[in-house]
Amino acid sequence: MDEKDIKKKLIALKKEVTHRINSIDRDIRHEGMTADWSEQASERENDEVLESLGNSSEQELEMIKFALHRLKNGTYFRCEECGEDIPTARLELLPFTAYCVNCAEKIES
């Protein structure tokens, strides 16, 4: 995987996540909400779930932006914690990760 492919993948992910965030925002604002009160109540029940999805998507977007920044600065392939190389297979699965497996496990626990 070369840097051009990685950049393309990250930019595509950024567009996808941005679209998802915009869609969630529209849903939370209830654009196009029906006039029926009972249907509106059902539509509003999902607001907490939508907010959680929106927050997760915002975090993902920030990680993607940071990955693009790291790619530009030449630090993309190195773990932010220990400085060791991040395995290519991990970057292919999680192109926005900033940590090797060992450091990610330590951070999450």
List the structure tokens of 60.
Answer: 């993902």
List the structure tokens of 14.
Answer: 């950024």
pLDDT (tens digit, 9 = 90+) per residue, 66-109?
Answer: 999 999 999 999 999 999 999 999 999 999 999 999 999 999 88
- Average pLDDT score, the chain: 89
Structural domain boundaries of the chain? Answer: 3-108
Query: Is domain 3-108 classified as CATH 1.20.120.910?
Result: yes
List the structure tokens of 95.
Answer: 């192109």
Neighbours of 104 (CB within 10 A): 17
